[in-house]
């Protein structure tokens, strides 16, 4: 009887050991799969982040610099003008591109150049919030480095004319540097500024101020602090009416 019990105990022990070994093997396999998954994700992230900057900058559409009235960094016109316009934009925004080419020049000619409006560009880079490629943020960064050389508006123009889709590589770091070269910036200063993200605080301040003002999309135009057509891109006529109303109000 003792020998039978001993054999039975050994059999149970062997089964338990086999079960334990299978469990340990599954755990090792699971850890291996997790490790392989992490490596795969890391490779994908690295590809998304770094491959665009290994690709040549490609062709750059040149611009002819446009004369604007009383340029002061990101602002135009007389700072003592009775009406203040602030325009919140993302350089990747297609509606901003249309606004800048079709509506903005009319406002500058009819109101800024005549001393009635002080016009300021504000950064609202949000179209890359869900993208690993921070093209909106980097375009804003590069534009501010151009502003540091008193060339914000030329860089603003070359960004919009070379844009070709959201988060598709139009504003890779390599292309942003190429734009700076194309408009003749001093490149050592630009590259130092760009790599250091020297104006990050100023850009983040614009973004926070815009959100506090109720802005959630671009372009958003504020006339004396009031958003014109919130949620929609305003027409020139709507902006003009708001300007005329502000000019006619007491104290303007």
Per-block mean pLDDT, blocks of 10 residues, the chain (252 long): 57 73 77 58 45 73 97 98 98 97 98 98 97 96 98 98 95 97 98 98 98 96 94 93 94 64
pLDDT given at position 230: 83
pLDDT given at position 47: 45
pLDDT given at position 42: 42
Domain boundaries, the chain: 2-53, 75-248
Q: Considering only the top CATH level, what class is 75-248?
A: alpha beta
77 vs 15: CA distance, rounded Å:
86
pLDDT given at position 41: 42
pTM above 0.95, yes or no: no
Q: How many CB atoms lie within 10 A of CB 141?
A: 24
Q: How many CB atoms lie within 10 A of CB 23?
A: 10
């Amino acid at each position: 009887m003792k020998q039978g019990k001993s054999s039975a105990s050994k059999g149970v022990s062997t089964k338990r050991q086999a079960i334990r070994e299978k469990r340990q093997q599954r755990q090792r396999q699971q850890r291996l799969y997790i490790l392989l998954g992490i490596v795969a994700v890391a490779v994908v992230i690295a590809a998304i982040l770094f491959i665009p900057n290994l690709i040549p900058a490609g062709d750059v559409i040149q611009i002819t610099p446009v004369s604007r009235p009383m340029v002061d960094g990101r602002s135009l016109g007389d700072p003592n003008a009775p009406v203040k316009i602030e325009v919140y934009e993302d350089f990747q925004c297609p509606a901003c591109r249309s606004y800048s080419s079709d509506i903005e020049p009319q406002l500058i000619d009819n109101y800024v150049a005549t001393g009635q409006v002080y016009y300021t560009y504000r950064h609202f880079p949000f179209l890359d919030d869900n993208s690993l490629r921070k093209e909106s943020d980097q375009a804003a960064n590069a534009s501010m480095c151009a502003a540091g050389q008193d060339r914000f508006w030329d860089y603003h123009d070359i960004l919009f004319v070379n844009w070709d889709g959201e988060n598709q590589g139009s504003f890779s770091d390599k292309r942003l540097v190429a734009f700076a070269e194309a408009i003749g910036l001093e490149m050592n200063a630009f590259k130092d500024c760009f790599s250091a993200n020297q104006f990050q605080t100023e850009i983040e301040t614009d973004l926070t101020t815009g959100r506090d003002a109720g802005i959630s999309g671009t372009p958003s135009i504020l006339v004396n602090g009031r958003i014109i057509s919130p949620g929609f891109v305003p027409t020139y006529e709507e902006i003009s009416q708001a300007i005329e109303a502000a000019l006619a109000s007491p104290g303007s």
